[in-house]
Amino acid sequence: MLIVCTILFPIIAGILASVIRAASYRSLCRRYAVISVVSAALGLLAILYAEEITLLTFAENVTLTFALDGLGKFFLAAVLILYTCAAFYAMEYMKMEENRPTFFCFFYISLGALIAVCAADNLVTVYLAFEMATLTTVPLVLHERTKAAVAAGLKYLFYSIGGALMGLFGVFFVYYYGMAGRSFVPGGFLDQAAVAGNEGILLAAVMAAIVGFGTKAGMYPMHGWLPTAHPIAPAPASALLSGIIAKAGVIAVIRLVYYCVGPEFIRGTYVQYAWMILSMITIFMGSMMAFLEKNMKKRLAYSTVSQISYIMLALSLLSDGGLRGALLHVMSHASSKGCLFLCAGVFIYKLGRRGVDELSGIGRQMPIVMCCFLAASLSLVGIPPMGGFLSKWVIALNIADDGMKVLSVLPVVILLISAMLTAGYLFPVAFRSFFPGNDVSLPEESEEPNALMTVPMILLCCVSLVMGIWGVRILEGIGF
């Protein structure tokens, strides 16, 4: 029951805290602080002690079952870290927004949904939790209720529904050709006798599912929702959408390929090559669009399109080393990109500035914020000792060792080009903030944001640093 309590507590508590009238916004924030702390504590207990539990049986071998293996624990840790940091940050940031109880209500409902995705023990449970995560995060995009927000929310919803239907197509055929039980098994559970002669339809279903679940991860050609939704959503919601919610698609792909179908079934087929090519296209396109974009949050959104496809590229190697590199980048990107979106939120909250060209000189007034921005940028570019360096190093090594001729060279070239573009769209912002030149008028505001905003950013930078130093040991500790 511990897993169920971990899933349901933030949902129920978030709804009750938002519905029951509070004397003031300060007292409302106290409720949310308690919910965040208790949710994190329950999550930690679940990681340590949770056991498998089946809640419903829909049909033979089709159940709603939850259990936490090493992969689920790793993703759950990422969810808890980012949601806890975003929650306390949002208590200050949302002072400038209306409809605050509604925002926090769906904030905590989506937390429960993401925990369910992490703890799912079979593909049907992953799919149901994945859909719940989609539906409960749409209101975060719609929060401002403007015409642009509604359009962005609908675009996010339509793309997600289309991707989910493609994913459902894959889920059906994987179950049809799978062996009894169908809980996740490293290496997959396909019934080889049933698959014989039907490899074509199963490969097509797997390809559709990878593209479908990849919609949530922003993989080309289903990436269009991400740069539209992120700039509209409040900054803490953008941090979650980019840092961890988009990775619900990554979890689904890992479960499908590595724990249901099995990497060996896909290796050497058109599915692997198409997956790699789509990932490389997304990496390059996202980096280039981010380099050209002048709105800070939209620049970071395009960056997310590129950076999450590093993970998809690593997974497409279909090797244990590729999986390790992907997991390292999951955590390093979640912490780094979450921090950058929170920094962008500070620029909006304190200065009302959204354009990249409007940020010159602010490092002298907000040194803590800009130091966090610089540290997170170092990670995304891939500079040691930050987490982004280790994850990209592991990914590149495994690509080079894979022995696929041109596909052992081209991805590394793409990674290097993307790293240079990433440096080109992040480092100048940080440098001009500290060294704006004599012809730039400095902003009049000189006050750093309070601890509710700065501490979460500092903690996320520390997470990235920890992953850069001890990331491999952490993965070894959970069995990877």
* 439 or 284, greater pLDDT: 284
Percent above pLDDT 90 for the chain: 58
For residue 174, pLDDT over 80 is answered with yes
Provide CB contacts within 8 A for 288, sequence distance 6+.
Answer: 421
Comparing 265-274, 334-343, 418-427, 437-446, the range with the smallest average pLDDT is 437-446
356-366 burial code (b ≥16 CB/10 A, e <16) = beebbbbbebb
For residues 349 and 451, give the distance between their C-alpha atoms in angstroms, rounded to a whole number. Answer: 14
Angle, helices 387-400 vs 367-381, to 10°: value is 10
What's the confidence (pLDDT) of residue 126?
93
For residues 422 and 410, give the distance between their C-alpha atoms in angstroms, rounded to a whole number. Answer: 18
For residue 470, pLDDT over 90 is answered with yes
Average pLDDT for residues 347-357, to the nearest whole number? 85
For residue 443, pLDDT over 60 is answered with no
CA 80 to chain centre: 12
What's the confidence (pLDDT) of residue 181?
60
pLDDT tens across 184-230, in order? 888 888 888 888 888 889 999 999 999 999 888 888 877 778 788 87
Q: Specify the pTM.
A: 0.94
What end-to-end distance do the CA atoms of the chain give, in Å?
27
What's the confidence (pLDDT) of residue 444?
58
On the 0-12 / 13-18 / 19+ scale of CB atoms within 10 A, 254 is: buried
3-state secondary structure 114-171: HHHHHHECEHHHHHHHHHHHHHHHHHHHCCCCCHHHHHHHHHHHHHHHHHHHHHHHHH
What's the confidence (pLDDT) of residue 72?
94
Average pLDDT for residues 33-51, to the nearest whole number? 94
pLDDT tens across 228-284, in order? 887 888 999 999 988 898 899 999 999 999 999 999 999 989 999 999 999 999 999
**Among 453, 246, 233, which Cα is nearest to 343's?**
453
- With beta carbons less than 8 A apart as the criterion, state whether 134 and 40 touch: no
Average pLDDT for residues 416-443, to the nearest whole number? 81
What's the confidence (pLDDT) of residue 189?
85
